[in-house]
Amino acid sequence: MKPLSGLLIVDFSQFLSGPSASLRMADMGARVIKIERAEGGDLCRRLYVSNLELDGDSTIFHTINRNKESFAADLRKPEDRKAVAELVQRADVVIQNFRPGVMERLGFDYGSVARLNPRVVYGEITGYGKSGPWRDKPGQDLLAQCLAGLPWLNGDADQPPVPFGLAIADMLAGAHLVQGILACLVRRGITGKGGCVEVSLLESVLDFQFEVLTTHLNDGGQLPRRSAVNNAHAYLGAPYGVYQTQDGYLALSMQPVVRLGQLLDCPALLTYTDSKDLFDKRDEIKQILVDHLRKYTTRHWLSILEPADIWCSDVFTWPRLLEHEAFQALDFIQHVTRREGVTLRTTRCPVRIDGEIYKSAKGAPVLGQDTAQILAELMAPPQEAQA
């Protein structure tokens, strides 16, 4: 029995942030009923990554909505609103990620839902919070990254701001929402009281930067100083970065430069004995490493550095990673299938509990696939429907 088995989640959210939260809870055993517009469904069904689709839906939709059920509803119709309200009455958790005011207009905001179901834990994600001048701005990942200042940490000093190459704001907000929902469920188990969990893309990206933002708050307000040579962290000194070798790349983490000079047979590094040099002269030090590390292969350098317990690594491509025995030992890939027999290879839940890996072969639903079954359950008494 998975830890969230028996919990019912009614999920109004779409795109990535909210669905990523309900996905993680589904992985851990919760039943997730996805409320979708009868016409078109979740807009993420048409959010293509590299123009790749499967059975009429984007692969990203398949990936982030696996192991869920789809209930198609037109909330302008009284009968559909009534059915959704009954689902909400039975739910343990309700999730939504619309702009402020949308759920109020639909009649499924926290206040309305709590009147139907006082024990409900209501989770909502906004772009920038429910107040302030950015309240009504589009809550989109790239925009949230940029407003939070994150792109100024990436890339080299002579480059423009470089955004993260992932939907990092969405994924972080989804993870934070799960944390808040689980905390509220624990409280409900103790007190019987539900509650409303609020997360925003902006606050999640700000929290993601808490180490460096705290430095900025206490260093007199200096701007981040990206390295001009192989920047990997605007606030860390040499040798931190990724370096080209004769046949690939080598990642070097935080290490004493003099020790590196000894191991790499690079006398030019032996003069940097002052720890302050690692930051103040980091571009100078990194350029020495750039020129030196190109002389030999990645394997050559690893054969010297790894036995000496230097923090370093090869820089894998995905094909190399997927073939490696270390990746295969994780058992991280699963196959999910939906009712038409369409199969997708994807990743599994990254969380293990009591050593157990959580997988499920249930793929993302076709729009409205489960509507009839769920309506039949609503006609039955709650205890019979749960059985």
Domain boundaries, the chain: 8-208+345-386, 241-323
* Alpha helix (H) residue ranges in the chain: 17-27, 59-64, 78-90, 102-106, 110-116, 141-147, 168-191, 201-208, 210-218, 257-264, 277-280, 282-293, 298-305, 318-323, 325-330, 371-379, 382-386
Rounded to 5 degrees, φ, ψ at 195 are: 170, 175
**Homologous superfamily (CATH) for 8-208+345-386:** Crotonobetainyl-coa:carnitine coa-transferase; domain 1 (3.40.50.10540)
- H-helix or E-strand spanning residue 200: strand 195-200
CA-CA distance, 163 to 267, in Å (whole number)? 37
CATH 3.30.420.310 fits 241-323, yes or no: no
Q: What is the pLDDT of residue 241?
A: 98
At 340 the pLDDT is 76
Q: Which residues of 314-335 are buried (b: 16+ CB within 10 A; e: fewer)?
A: bebeeeeeeeeeeeeeeeeebe
Among residues 233, 292, 324, 335, the one annotated as catalytic is 233
Closest by Cα among 287, 292, 286, 282 to 236? 282
- Assess whether the previous peptide bond of 239 is cis (omega < 30° from 0): yes
Please give the Cα distance from 85 to 35 (Å, whole number). 11
- For 355, residues 6+ apart whose C-beta sits below 8 A from its C-beta are none
Contact, 69 vs 95, CB < 8 A? no
Are 78 and 106 contacting, i.e. CB atoms less than 8 angstroms apart? Answer: no
Identify the CA nearest to 335 among candidates 119, 66, 45. Answer: 66
Q: Is 292 a catalytic residue?
A: no
Copy the structure tokens of residue 288: 């020495």
Whole-model pTM?
0.94
Q: Residue 74 in contact with residue 39, Cβ under 8 Å?
A: yes
Mean pLDDT per 10-residue interval, the chain, length 387 residues = 97 97 98 96 88 90 96 96 97 97 96 97 97 95 98 97 96 98 98 97 98 96 96 97 98 95 98 95 98 98 97 98 98 93 94 96 96 94 54
